[in-house]
Amino acid sequence: MESTGPGPPQVSKFKLCCRIAGWIPLAWSKQDGVHQNLSPAALSSSEGQNSSLTCSYSGTARNVQWYRQAPGESPTFLGILYKDEHATWGLNLRAELHTTEKHSYLNITKAQLQDAATYLCAVEAQ
């Protein structure tokens, strides 16, 4: 953060967007009885702030995969979660899968400008 003279320091704000991964060319979507919902649909964050995304689904999931797509780039794989698993990816990403509640969380701690991206989840049906 920079100070530009008297007053509070300036904080960079950026958007973290998210959506359902409908682009994955596998039978992981509605025809398998699994419906996904990623929320919130759009999220603004400030540097240093914590943020959380939720991927909810119906049906029975074998796994949940998370991806990040930076502006102008192809999606990159963050990781995969199996039944009731927790994982840490990189320095500031923590993911959880709760199969009983049928949702997965992606938590971004101390968000930085490079975290501004579209986040996607894919649910593989059992």
Give me the pLDDT at residue 86, please.
94
Residue in 20, 32, 47 with CA at minimum distance from that of residue 110: 47
Which tokens go with 48?
């240093």
Percentage of residues in the chain having pLDDT higher than 90: 33
First to last CA, the chain: 46
What is the chain's mean pLDDT, rounded?
A: 77
Whole-angstrom distance, CA of residue 91 vs CA of residue 73? 21
Whole-angstrom distance, CA of residue 61 vs CA of residue 69? 23
Give 71 or 98, the one with higher predicted confidence: 98
Domain 13-125: CATH superfamily, name plus number: Immunoglobulins (2.60.40.10)
Give 24 or 45, the one with higher predicted confidence: 45
2-16, 18-32, 111-125, range with greatest mean pLDDT: 111-125
Give 15 or 49, the one with higher predicted confidence: 49
Which tokens go with 110?
């101390």
**The pTM is what?**
0.73
Whole-angstrom distance, CA of residue 30 vs CA of residue 123? 10
Which tokens go with 91?
């320095």
* 61 Cβ contact list (under 8 Å, min separation 6): 34, 97, 99, 102, 123, 124, 125, 126
pLDDT digits (tens, 9 = 90+) for 72-125: 899 999 999 999 999 999 889 999 999 999 999 999 999 888 888 888 888 888
